[in-house]
Amino acid sequence: MKFFGLALATGVLLALSFPRMDWEFLAWGALIPLFFAIFGQSPKRAALLGFVAGLAFYGLSLSWVTNTLVNYGNIPSVIAWPILFLLAAYLSAYIALFCFLTIHLSRNQPLYFIALAPFLWTTLEYLRSTHLEYGFSWQGLGYSQYLNLPVLQMADLTGVYGISFLIVTVNAGLFYLFHPRLRREMPWRRYRTPVSVVMFGLYALVLAYGWAALNAHEEQPVKPLKVAMVQGNIPQQMKWDPQYKEQILATYRELTMRAVVSSPDFIVWPEAVTPFYFLNDLDGTSAVVQLADELNTPLLFGSPRAEQQDGTWVSYNSAYLLSGDGNIKGRYDKIHLVPFGEFIPWQSVLFFLDKLVVGIGDFGRGSEATLFEINGYKFAVSICYEITFPDLVRRPVGNGAQFLVNITNDAWFGKSAASYQHISMAALRAVENRVPIVRAANTGITGAVDTLGRIHPTTELFEREVLIASIQPRTAPPTLYARYGDWFCYLCMVVSIALGTLAWRRTRTLPAAPQATPPGPSPS
């Protein structure tokens, strides 16, 4: 049971590393208990221990899922909790596979064990995060460091996955140094110094790069952009009730009139802010267009829309940019939809479930990352969940976007850690691409992120608020990550295969590895 206790400890420590606890320093040692638990075990038992660690981690950090399902999906608690378990189990399977492969390929030889761990972890985290339809990037290990600005800066080279790699490297190195038998037994003792040099050297290089980035003076535009973000705080149960249509429009009109006093360059409303289909509802459409014309200020807002395709009406979750005279200057259709929120996967099996977005059929998928323009600066829009996908967000930046706008409706999350987890991922997107991000949320958190990943200013949750931010659109060339995407993850895949093959072939000739040993003082 002590090994299961160590696995549970890893899960709890990882959960505490993420918002809202934000004890990000714990991540640098959170995997050590798990490594002590699995080292010396059979691959199958290691997989079981990894699965237990994952259940604890994802079960705790994603517990807000039950609130969303019960309060907005009309799913009873007795069903919501098993759904959370299934989600946690699916994500835990990657940690289980990581443990299985690390033990199976290294055959518990310490040097191969610690060398394989960061490459395998990064590869598997990338694979579970990037599937176009069902990928789930939430709670990737690197996101735990969104407040650790010096470490965060390496993301413009490797993306968030490089930070995950570094965290696992440090955990693996510390495990090697702390293991009582590896400290005193030959030949493992002789490698302690090289392991220390590699681990601390890599961490020092990352810190040096981070501090250099934080102190660098980048070229600045002649004039910054002033952005007004409007947070209407409309309860989810009101959004699609026709009797509240006029009230919602009046709320956003009042807040927008307040925002325009600051003379912003443009105004941003949240995702699906209009309680109607834009361009299909003439009265509602006229009200929004006339407001932009009256204020003579460009307006970006989210709205569902519908169009006929082959005789069938298809809905889209879209973002529109209106010019100061009320003309439509561009539209973006959401590309990456939310499973169970905007479509039901495997409908033939899950026919009894309904989407969280009531009253609208399955959404269609957009196909193009639209570039908009304000005052000569190009920008792109991501809608809600899309901000969690690094490769999806970087593409328009590689095509010339100089800043990003994220519009979202986090009312689904209630007063949970989810909204804080959500905006923390925006910090990584800003650093990866070295572009500022402005974010307008229906119920919070609304705010701005600069090119160094600093989140400021922000609103509180469930407040009706107007936020003004000044941003500096990027004028320098795209970052390495924006140009080449997840090259580092592909490298990790190649190294995992090559190193795993080498380890498998060579471990037969190496000395027997120490058996499983829980952490503690060395026996005298």
Give the rounded percent of residues in the chain with a pLDDT score beyond 90: 77
Instruction: For residue 431, give the amino acid letter.
Output: V
* Dihedral (CA of 205, 126, 406, 408) sign: negative
Q: What is the mean pLDDT of residues 292-296?
A: 95
Query: Looking at the predicted structure, is the pLDDT value of residue 135 above 60?
Result: yes
Query: Of 24, 99, 245, 271, which is the active-site residue?
Result: 271
User: In whole angstroms, what is the distance from residue 289 CA to residue 320 CA?
Assistant: 11
Every domain of the chain with CATH number 3.60.110.10 lies at 225-475
Q: What is the pLDDT of residue 360?
A: 47
What's the CA gap between 393 and 432, in Å, rounded? 10
Closest CA relative to residue 172, chosen from 54, 11, 29: 29
Residue 358: pLDDT over 90: no
Q: How far apart are CA 298 and CA 225, in angstroms?
A: 12
342/61: higher pLDDT:
61
Residue 359 has pLDDT above 50, yes or no: no
Percent of the chain with pLDDT over 70: 91
**Are the C-beta atoms of 22 and 14 separated by less than 8 Å?**
no
Active-site residue, from 334, 355, 386, 492: 334
pTM score > 0.85 for this model? yes
For residue 99, give the DSSP letter: H
Annotated active-site residue 2? The verdict is: no
Q: What is the mean pLDDT of the chain?
A: 91
Q: For residues 270 and 268, give the distance between their C-alpha atoms in angstroms, rounded to a whole number.
A: 7
**Distance between CA 120 and CA 126 in Å, rounded?**
10
Q: Which two tokens stand for residue 488?
A: 């580092």
Q: Which fold has domain 225-475?
A: Nitrilase/N-carbamoyl-D-aminoacid amidohydrolase (3.60.110)
For residues 23 and 17, the answer to whether their CB atoms sit within 8 Å is yes
Q: Which of 99, 384, 489, 492 is catalytic?
A: 384
pLDDT class of 524 with cuts at 50, 70, 90: very low
Query: Minimum mean pLDDT among 27-31, 153-157, 178-182, 386-390: which range?
Result: 178-182
Confidence of residue 342 (pLDDT cuts 50, 70, 90): low
492 tagged catalytic: no
d(CA 405, CA 90): 31
pLDDT of 297 > 50? The answer is: yes
- State yes or no: pLDDT of 363 exceeds 80: yes
What residue type is 221 in one-letter code? P
Q: What 3-state class would DSSP assign to 523?
A: coil
Active-site residue flag, 334? yes
User: CA–CA distance from 1 to each of 5, 6, 8, 249, 494 (Å)?
Assistant: 6, 9, 11, 58, 36
Nearest to 138 by CA among 333, 426, 457, 451: 426
User: Which residues are paired to 383 by β-bridges?
Assistant: 407
Lowest pLDDT segment from 69-78, 407-416, 446-455: 69-78
Count Cβ neighbours within 10 Å for each residue of 121-136 and write b for 16 or more, e otherwise.
Answer: bbbbbbebbbeeeebb
What value does the mean pLDDT take over residues 261-275?
Answer: 96
pLDDT for the residue 452: 96
Pull the structure tokens for residue 301. 């807002």
Mean pLDDT of 140-151: 98
